[in-house]
Amino acid sequence: MTAGSLRRPVFVCGLGETGAVPEDPRSIPEMVLAAVQAAYRDAGCTQADVDAVVTASVDLLDGLTASNIAITEVVDAVMKPETRIAADGLAAALHAAAQIAAGSYDTVLVVAHCKASMADYQALTRWALDPIYLQPLGVDFLACAGLQAMALAEDDPGAERRWAQIAAARRSCGSSAFSGLCDVDRILVSPLVAAPLRAGMCAPLGDAACAVVLTAQAPARSAAIAVRMAGLGWDLERHSLGDRHLRSWDGLKRAFERACGTAGIEPTAGGFELAEPSCLYPHEEELFARATGIDAATPLSPEGGLFPGTAPIVAGLSRLAAAARRMRQGRAERALAHGAWGPAGQGQAVAVLEARA
């Protein structure tokens, strides 16, 4: 067997989410416990069925070194193997799938959490940037997204209105605990937050926890549609924006090609009946389309994606959950879930999901 294909199948068998809200009054362990219990209920399993745990969290956002320490008990990692992937939650799910494919564990719980309400998220993202050349400039992930949007808008006078339309359209098809704008004209006069991005264009960030149970065995319930993680791909782009092609997400293109390679399919839009991209800003949907070829011709974020509101770290894993839910309803046979982290999408993660009745 050559590198690039999974040695064992991996199925998505349990989904649990708190849903994103501007400020969740619960503690992080309470939120995580709610998501984990929901995932167990959905999978029809208990903690005793889980062999290992992969968590996703970032210490600086939690204000706690080894931030998984606060949730060790509620994810039931006591006396179990746990791995923390300090990136987007979808990346944690991809690693968990690799653990199962390796034959090391049969069932793995994946958990992502973040409470953006506890601190100024964008201010903290400055501490991820090169402290010699970038951090002194005072830029954060939002400013980096603005610079990328500016590069795209340079010779495209219609871009801003189009982006406002994307944000409004996505937001109006999803229910949300956030008060986001759904009116294009109001979005276009909302405050500039990182020119040309306006407040009304951005996905609002809040608190959420998400849990997914992955397993080597297809779910036993005969009526259920099994969702398989058929393709896995991730990528790290160069750090400095000056070293990248800002008008494309080359990292996503590579991650997409790897994921399709694992799944044994051509890296083209054809064959995908659903895509759940992790786009915090509308110009990122266009970058997503350029990288994957998946555009409006394919059902994209039918519940609004991240635009109704999301939480950092949780975003990508919630996309996996959203896609899998829809596939279980028989509404897509092949879907793509996407996660991203870092400045202007430096880190990229892709899962190709396939449904089997």
Q: Which of 37, 47, 83, 172 binds other proteins (CB under 8 A)?
A: 83
Is 48 a binding residue for other proteins by CB under 8 A? The answer is no
Q: Exposed/middle/buried for 123, CB within 10 Å: 0-12, 13-18, 19+?
A: exposed
Query: From the CB of 154, what's the least distance to other proteins, in Å?
Result: 25
Nearest-approach distance from CB 32 to other proteins, in angstroms:
14
For other proteins, the binding residues in 293-352 under the rule CB under 8 A are: 341-343, 346-347
Binding to other proteins in span 89-118, by CB under 8 A: 91, 95, 97-104
Question: In this structure, which amino acid lies at residue 142?
Answer: L
Task: Give 33's contacts (C-beta < 8 A, 6+ positions apart).
Answer: 74
Closest CA relative to residue 92, chosen from 336, 355, 313, 325: 313
Binding residues for other proteins, total number by CB under 8 A:
68
β-pair type (334-341, 274-276): parallel
Task: Select the span of 70-78, 166-174, 274-282, 325-333 touching other proteins (CB under 8 A).
Answer: 70-78
| Rounded CA separation 171/289 (Å) | 19
R_g (Cα) of the chain, nearest Å = 19
- Interface with other proteins (CB under 8 A), residue from 235, 257, 276, 354: 235
CA atoms within 13 A on the CB side of 129: 22
Q: Strand, coil or helix: what is 9? A: coil
- Is residue 64 within the footprint of other proteins (CB under 8 A)? yes
70: helix, strand or coil? helix
- Kindly tell me which residue out of 44, 49, 82, 165 binds other proteins, with binding defined by CB under 8 A: 82
Q: Tell me which residues in 238-257 interact with other proteins (CB under 8 A).
A: 238-239, 250-251, 254-255
Q: Which residues bind other proteins (CB under 8 A)?
A: 1, 3-7, 52-53, 58-61, 64-66, 68-70, 72-73, 77-87, 91, 95, 97-104, 124-125, 127-132, 232-239, 250-251, 254-255, 258, 262, 341-343, 346-347
